Amino acid sequence: MLLDPLLIAELVLLGLCTGFLAGLLGIGGGMLMVPFITIILSDRGVAPDLAVKMAIATSMATIIFTSISSVRAHHQRGAVRWDIVKRLAPGIVLGSALASMGVFALLKGSWLALFFAAFVSFSATQMLLDKKPKPTRTLPGSAGQLGAGGVIGFLSGLVGAGGGFVSVPFMTWCNVAIHNAVATSAALGFPIALANALGYVVAGQGVAGLPIGSVGYIFAPALAVIATASVFMAPVGVRAAHALPVKALKRVFASILYVLAAYMLYKGLSA
């Protein structure tokens, strides 16, 4: 599959939007990328089931680059809770490896699309309801955060997102301030994306029907264009995140997730 001018323009626009969202919401942009990459690949002849899997894998790989740009901007503002990152990261790597090299390869793309829709809808609802956690609730100990990291990494590997749709609600539920939760989620995006991307490369070896330019399940040409564009926009999203009030930030987060969940529900049911 060659990158014609129209395809390049679509990928650049997608990269700019996802880079902004990565900085704004700490979600790595994966929630936006997966539906649109699915559309792009399907329109160019990739089988629907395979298109969903490639969209998830390619989306995750771009987060490696987006998260670096985003977390740098957040770190300069002192917003990243590195103590939380250190305790969640080991579990994230283990959960990611289990998802990307095991379960992901076994599930059909239609089931992955339905899972994406269901879990994203749940996450959006939790954020939109804006339930206040108990004032005494705090993050669990090291073992609890290891387990939470495993869940975050595993779920991220199944839906191709940077984990913000789980980690941000989890941290705010534990009374971590929303801006710190978003910034810390951006930092967690790197180990999530790296571990899962390596798993997708291994799991996709020898799969029939992959277009030219694929590395395992990852569509490398799209990865290059989206990552380049998104890196430039992530710091802009960070500035917006620190300027918006908490409730507005949560409403933006939830509204975007509902729209994308609806599309992937349609995709899963029609496959």
Single out the residue of 94, 103, 113 nearest to residue 152, CA to CA.
Answer: 94
Q: In this predicted model, what pLDDT tens digit does every residue of 161-214 receive, in sequence order?
A: 666 667 877 888 888 887 888 888 888 888 888 888 999 999 888 888 888 889
Mean pLDDT computed over 232-252: 76
For 90, the 3-state DSSP assignment is helix
Tell me: pLDDT of 69 over 80: no
Tell me: pLDDT of 150 over 80: yes
Angle at 51 between CA 153 and CA 69, to 5 degrees: 45
Helix (H) or strand (E) holding 214: strand 214-215
Q: Enter the pTM of the model.
A: 0.76
On whether the CB atoms of residues 64 and 193 are closer than 8 A, the answer is yes
What is the predicted pLDDT for the residue at 213?
Answer: 86
Q: In this predicted model, what pLDDT tens digit does every residue of 18-34 receive, in sequence order?
A: 788 767 765 656 677 88
- Domain residues for the domain of 66 are 5-270
**Which 8-state DSSP code applies to residue 107?**
S
What is the predicted pLDDT for the residue at 218?
Answer: 94
The span from the CA of 48 to the CA of 38, in Å, is 8
Q: What percent of the chain has pLDDT over 90?
A: 9
Tell me: pLDDT of 134 over 70: no
The span from the CA of 184 to the CA of 190, in Å, is 11
What is the predicted pLDDT for the residue at 215?
Answer: 92
Task: State how many domains the chain has.
Answer: 1
SS3 letters for 11-33? HHHHHHHHHHHHHHHCCCCHHHH
SS3 letters for 215-265? ECCEEHHHHHHHHHHHHHHHHHHHHHHHHCCHHHHHHHHHHHHHHHHHHHH
- Alpha-carbon torsion (10, 111, 184, 252), positive or negative: positive
For 109, the 3-state DSSP assignment is helix
Tell me: pLDDT of 87 over 80: yes
